[in-house]
Amino acid sequence: MKLNIDGLLVYFPYDYIYPEQYSYMLELKRTLDARGHGVLEMPSGTGKTISLLSLIVAYQKAFPLEVTKLIYCSRTVPEIEKVVEELRKLMEFYSKQTGESNNFLALALSSRKNLCVHPEVSSLRFGKEVDGKCHSLTASYIRAQRHSDPNMPVCRFYEEFDAVGRQVPLPAGIYNLDDLKDFGRRKGWCPYYLARYSILHANIVVYSYHYLLDPKIADLVSKELAKNSVVVFDEAHNIDNVCIDSMSVNITRRTLDRCQTNVDTLQNTIQKIKETDAAKLKEEYRRLVEGLKEANVARETDIYLSNPVLPDEILKEAVPGTIRTAEHFVGFLRRFMEYLKSRLRVQHVVQESTPQFLKDIFDKVCIDRKPLRFCAERLQSLLRTLEIADIADFSAVTLISNFATLVSTYSQGFTIIIEPFEDRTPTIANPVLHFSCMDPSIAIKPVFQRFQSVVITSGTLSPLDIYPKILDFRPVTMASFTMTLARTCLCPLIVGRGNDQVALSSKFETREDFAVIRNYGNLLLEMSAIVPDGIVAFFTSYVYMENIVASWYEQGILENIQRNKLIFIETPDAAETSMALEKYQEACENGRGAILLSVARGKVSEGIDFVHHFGRAVIMFGVPYVYTQSRILKARLEYLRDQFQIRENDFLTFDAMRHAAQCVGRAIRGKTDYGLMIFADKRYARADKRGKLPRWIQEHINDGSLNLTVDEAIQLSKHFLRQMAQPFRQEDQLGLSLLTLEQLESEEMLQKISQIAHQT
């Protein structure tokens, strides 16, 4: 259908539209009009993706000069594929409606592992191996060597692409990963490099967060994307953690050992080259004296996305003399490594700021701040000069040099923690140096600065105002949308007491309490008897789950549960978990019924949807607070308090509630779906917890279901499940939660729609 969104003609590829989608598009349009950033929360399963795509594509068509590109960032490969499929539908609708052929180029980009078509390289199992092998076939000096020695192995796909691929742009169309591969095979071009090259002129790019947030990758891939692009981060509730992870470095003894071998190899190669080809090293030296001027020019003309690892000041200066020659630099690395080794020989926990660390390193091994800052750049230059084929082997030394650059660049927002052992195994020495980023805004800042509109969206972003604070940006729109429903298909219940009136809680003091564990077991047992097919239960941590399950086993509760349903358990092992998941789904499918015990913040809670019968109920045992004794977390909380005036408790609750909302949100993946959401902890009833749940869940929690006993919850659930099992057809939704064009345009409906968005 064709919609009129605030004066903009939007083609929407479906015959019906949800009211909240309309409202969402209105808000999005406002964001784009203002050329600002937006934070939008809309429940999952209400068609967020297609609303985003339809509006932004329409905007691109209407104002081709103002918005040239849409950069859509998602988390996983399946999600990326889903986005491309929606886009394909949209484009088909466009060409059907307008009658003209489509001149849009949209493509997905993923790692080499997912795109490689080279018969040998693509059969490798790990992403790193593929990258390394690919590099060893396609690096420029390898190819240069091939001119003299035609027997060198080479990737014919890359050669072909390099020879002709750049002259002809990729024909307009929608390409998912498989389409790219097919195209690549047909033409004999490397799909990965083709995609990387094509994103520069594509209208829509769909790829993973890391291509934009991780400075190491962003520098390679996203540097030259146009300034007037719209960036969308989907499923962005964890974006701060992604930012932090991309800037943090952990160094263990193993890293240093591997680094040692790397440095030795470097040394040997330098020796060899010196004997054979001394001119090459001279050439490099000359280049370094000239400085990184070229890069600086490029950045000033605003072609590049700035790289937070490589701050502007570095570019203006030449590489300092102490590390300019190759031998000196290797010696410098050795000294730095020895210093780190000595630091790891600690018996107690050390925490210090970056200036303290720099001072210490200067006192002990006389390393100045300045050469440290050039470490990463210098290493890259050296690796290029030495023509080392397999970069993958040098990850350790790259890591160390990145660390050196970061530690000397940022005096704020980072902390260094050296722990001699893990908390859980205090007797085994396993020293780790955590260089931890505490300020997610550092990694994301270039994105906000460079692109005109950045939209952060997810099903669970509540409370909205905290994201602009911790990411340090100013949104022009912040809105939370509710789900309009023809029937109340979600049933959140807060179970605060057992049948014996014992307060249920996972808080530390009552964690070992026998009565609480028994009552939790009782709750699961009784739910297993009344909920059909699948139940997913979330615990706060693996340790807690182990304790409880062991205790249930002793009390015979597990045996009783197994009479009703089979039990599957998530473990930290990915292979085991995916096996359990597969069997769980099979059990749900053939009517036996199953329970999946898993952990909030685990793999299951983040990426896996439990549609329809795969998740008729989600039980959240306890409030999933992050492990508060961790020093990294403590440092981060302190930083948040000092820098952003966010109280520790507020942040912890926020973090716990967003994970809880993520977990229970797994059950409802659309309007025809239904599911129970059971919060088994009396603390959920408190306003400060409840108020942080997304609005679409919050509005279905009525005062009566705040502090239920197990019995009462069972009774309510039974009733709910029977109501939901009554036949439900599309006609029942029409006019209420599903609109045709005429219904949408009625005065009364527009009135209603204006209430859906909740501005903050």
Scanning 211-219, 358-366, 480-488, 680-688 for contacts with another protein by CB under 8 A, the matching segment is 480-488
Q: Tell me if 491 contacts another protein by CB under 8 A.
A: no
Nearest approach, Cβ of 758 to another protein (angstroms)? 16
Of the candidates 704, 735, 734, 697, the residue with the CA atom closest to the CA atom of residue 719: 704
- Give the Cα separation of 79 and 72 in Å (integer): 11
| Range in contact with another protein (rule: CB under 8 A) among 173-181, 405-413, 574-582, 716-724 | 716-724
- Please state the closest distance from residue 495 (CB atom) to another protein, in A: 13
Taking contact as CB under 8 A, which single stretch among the options 69-77, 153-161, 496-504, 582-590 is the one that binds another protein? 582-590
CA 611/CA 579 separation, integer angstroms: 18
Q: CB of 702: closest distance to another protein in angstroms?
A: 9
- 57: nearest Cα among 114, 103, 126: 103
> Which residue number, 371 or 615, has a Cβ lying nearer to another protein?
615
Q: Does 208 bind another protein (CB under 8 A)?
A: no
Q: Closest separation between CB of residue 672 and another protein, Å?
A: 12
Least distance in angstroms from the C-beta of 733 to another protein: 10
Omega before residue 355 within 30° of 0, cis: no
- Classify residue 531 by its DSSP letter: S
Residue 101 found at the interface with another protein (CB under 8 A): no
CB of 501 to another protein, least distance (A): 15
Least CB distance to another protein at residue 722 (A)? 5
Cβ atoms 46, 16 nearer than 8 A: no
> Is 486 among the residues that bind another protein (CB under 8 A)?
yes
Beta-carbon contacts of 301 under 8 Å, excluding residues fewer than 6 positions away, are: none
Residue 233, H or E segment: strand 229-233
Q: Residue 501 — φ and ψ, nearest 5°?
A: 70, 10
Number of residues that bind another protein (CB under 8 A): 39
Beta strand 475-481 with 757-759 is: antiparallel
Q: What is the residue type of 627?
A: Y
Q: Residue 99: how many CB atoms within 10 A of its CB?
A: 7
**Among candidates 341, 685, 681, 741, which has minimal Cα distance to 523?**
681
Site membership for another protein, residue 558 (CB under 8 A): no
For residue 503, the 8-state DSSP code is B
In terms of CB distance, is 371 or 675 closer to another protein?
A: 675
Stretch that binds another protein, among 135-143, 205-213, 227-235, 728-736 (CB under 8 A): 728-736
Contact call for residue 718 and another protein (CB under 8 A): yes
Q: Could you give phi then psi for residue 95, rounded to 5 degrees?
A: -70, -30
Q: How many CB atoms lie within 10 A of CB 509?
A: 7
- The answer to whether 737 and 22 are in contact (CB under 8 A) is no
Fill in the DSSP letter of residue 391.
Answer: G
Q: Binding string to another protein for residues 603 to 642, with x set by CB under 8 A, is what?
A: ---------xx--x--------------------------
C-alpha separations of 741 from 62, 663, 707, 747 in Å:
21, 35, 43, 12
Q: Which of these segments, 267-275, 311-319, 479-487, 640-648, binds another protein (CB under 8 A)?
A: 479-487
Which of these segments, 450-458, 459-467, 657-665, 709-717, binds another protein (CB under 8 A)?
Answer: 709-717
Query: Per CB under 8 A, does 723 bind another protein?
Result: yes
Least distance to another protein from the beta carbon of 533, Å? 5
Site for another protein in 319-338 (CB under 8 A): none
Per CB under 8 A, 645 contacts another protein = no
Cβ 221 vs Cβ 109: under 8 Å? yes
Exposure class string for 536-568: b at 16+ Cβ within 10 A, else e: bbbbbbbebbeebbebbeeeebbebbeebbbbb
Choice between 388 and 483, CB closer to another protein: 483
3-class DSSP assignment, residue 105: strand
- Reading phi first (left if > 0) and then psi (alpha if -120 to 50, else beta), residue 431 is in beta
The amino acid at residue 508 is F
| Nearest residue (CB) to another protein, 460 versus 564 | 564
Helix/strand/coil for 569: strand
Q: In terms of CB distance, is 2 or 718 closer to another protein? A: 718
| Type of residue found at 260 | Q
Residues between 222 and 281 that touch another protein (CB under 8 A): none
Quick one: 286 or 722, whose CB is closer to another protein? 722
CB of 734 to another protein, least distance (A): 12
Instruction: Please report whether residue 724 would count as binding another protein according to CB under 8 A.
Output: yes
Instruction: Determine phi and psi for 366, rounding to 5 degrees.
Output: 60, 40
Query: Would you say 99 or 591 has its CB closer to another protein?
Result: 591
Report H helices in 63-126. Answer: 77-98, 112-115
Entry field: residues in the chain: 760
Taking CB under 8 A as the criterion, the residue among 153, 169, 691, 704 binding another protein is 704
> Nearest approach, Cβ of 491 to another protein (angstroms)?
11
Of the residues 33, 79, 162, 711, which one makes contact with another protein according to CB under 8 A: 711
Give the x-and-dash track for 731-750 against another protein (CB under 8 A). Answer: -x---x--------------
Which amino acid appears at position 90 of this protein?
L
* Pattern 517-556, another protein, x by CB under 8 A: ---------x--xxxxx-----------------------
CA pair distance 555, 560, nearest whole angstrom: 10
From candidates 99, 119, 171, 727, binder to another protein by CB under 8 A = 727
Which residues of this protein are in contact with another protein, per CB under 8 A? 485-488, 526, 529-533, 563-565, 588-593, 612-613, 616, 704, 711-712, 715-716, 718-719, 721-728, 732, 736
